[in-house]
Amino acid sequence: MAHVGKQPDFLDSLNHNQPGNCQTRQEKFDLYFQGESSHLGEEISRLEEFSPVGGERQDAIDHVLGGITNLSNEVADAKLYTSPYNQRIYLQTISTLNENLRETMARIAPSSRFRFKCSNKTDSALSSENTAEWTPASSIPDLAPREEDDLGELPKVSKNYNDEITRSNDAIRKPSFSQAKNIDLSNHHNIHILLPSTASRATSVGSVTHISESVVDMSIPTSSETPFASLVLSDIKGSLIIAGQVAGAAHISRVVDSIIVVASRQVRMHECANVKIYLNCTSRPIIEGCKNIQFSPMPQCYMNALDSTQNHWDQVDDFNWLKSEHSPNWKLLPEEERLNESVWTKVVVGEPGLGLIDILHKTGLK
């Protein structure tokens, strides 16, 4: 697998921010990319360890696909401040990851379950414009799993859970997502959504977008056994988002005047303002183009089996702040301003007598 320059240990390099050793955005992204690509390579090499029974191996494959997608998007976003040479190296690495994944899937897939066909398409990671792009596996013939049986092909029914949420008159909406593979919540205002355990089979990829003055709680289906492979939170205002657990990266963009609770291996925030984030993160969080972001450790009630000793919630890298002094764009949320456990265990879950407006008031969002 190709690497950019000399490859130091990812976490060690990011955990040492010594005065006088200011890194450029290019250097910071190099370290980030090397860590992510190495991690994905390790995950691909371990796919054979997962059982093909019960969808366990397919879930692991989807996890890797989501990681490659996110990394491709990150490379595209970094094009403004990375050199053409480094962009080529990044894209070559992504191409190698794609090819390794294809070869691994071809080797471990039972012939009765998967069929691979030759494709004349060039690898999507290397476009003619040198821009990182990715097509979901379900749309690529030589990556898409196929099942064959005597029943023939059954009709596919797509259920619109967002319409179901909008039409419901319940005080707390609980969409099952039992017929979905991914969780997509979008275009909701002044609403309380609580995902039940039935949504745990739809945690391949999570997306919460265009939400305002609402409460969204996804902590139940994303427990330690069924975390999101990756998560996108974007265009959110005045809301409380309990995102739950993410095995890969959480990408948070254009979120303002809100509270986020998330446990993730990697967190990146873009163009956010006035956000309080309760976090468990096994690598250093990254912010870019953000203002007034306040960080706090994750509430104990959401920790479950998470390892708090590997939590780097307070070791933030600001890609727009290259000086050795502390960035003015983020700070630690003072302990006296953090919501106590009773708010999370009683108020946020919607105890009797409390409506959406009460929850937003008691969490300081109204």
Q: Which residue range forms the structural domain that includes residue 82?
A: 25-107
For residue 216, give every residue at least 6 positions away whose Cβ sits within 8 Å of its Cβ, in sequence order, or none: 185, 193, 208, 239, 240, 241, 242
Same domain (yes/no): 229, 326: yes
Question: Within a domain: residue 339?
Answer: yes
SS3 string, the chain, reads: CCCCCCCCCHHHHHCCCCCCCCCCHHHHHHHHHHHHHHHHHHHHHCHHHCCCHHHHHHHHHHHHHHHHHHHHHHHHHHHHCCCHHHHHHHHHHHHHHHHHHHHHHHHHCCCCCCCCCCCCCCCCCCCCCCCCCCCCHHHCCCCCCCCCCCCCCCCCCCCCHHHHHHHCCCCCECCCCCCCCCEEEEEEECCEEECCHHHHHHCCEEEEEEEECCEEECCCCCCCCCCECEEEEEEEECCEEEEEEEEEEEEEEEEEEEEEEEEEEEEEEECCEEEEEEEEECCCCEEECCEEEEEEECCHHHCCCCCHHHCCCCCCEECCCCCCCCCCCEEECCHHHCCCHHHHHHHCCCCCCCCHHHHHHHCCCC
Same domain, 342 and 194: yes
Token pair in block for residue 61: 């494959």
Q: How far apart are CA 184 and CA 74, in angstroms?
A: 21
Is residue 166 included in any domain, yes or no?
no
Among residues 107, 134, 164, the one where a domain terminates is 107
Count other Cβ atoms within 10 Å, centred on residue 253. Answer: 19
Same domain, 90 and 189: no
Number of domains in the chain: 2
**Within a domain: 359:** yes
**pLDDT mean over 319-343:** 92
Q: Enter the tokens of residue 20.
A: 């006088």
82, 107, 132 - which closes a domain: 107
What mean pLDDT is predicted for residues 331-348? Answer: 94
Q: What is the mean pLDDT of residues 276-304?
A: 94
Q: Residue 193 falls within a domain, yes or no?
A: yes
Same domain, 213 and 70: no
**Average pLDDT of the chain, as a whole number:** 80
Query: Is the domain of 348 the same as that of 209?
Result: yes
pLDDT score, position 14: 38
Instruction: With respect to residue 146, please indicate whether it lies within any of the assigned structural domains.
Output: no
- pLDDT band at residue 340 using 50, 70 and 90 as cut-offs: very high
Q: Each residue of 47-76: pLDDT tens digit? A: 888 777 766 777 778 878 888 888 888 888
Q: Which of 59, 75, 107 is the last residue of a domain?
A: 107
Contact 250, 243 (CB under 8 A): yes
The string of pLDDT tens digits covering residues 129-142 is 444 444 444 444 44
Cβ atoms of residues 73 and 94 within 8 Å? no
Q: The domain that contains 232 carries what CATH number? A: 2.160.20.70
What confidence category does residue 203 fall into, taking pLDDT thresholds of 50, 70 and 90? confident
pLDDT in tens, 11-55: 333 344 444 445 688 888 888 888 888 888 888 888 888 777 766
- Residue 137, in any domain of the structure: no
127 is a domain residue: no
In this structure, what CATH number is given to the domain that contains residue 54?
A: 1.20.58.1250
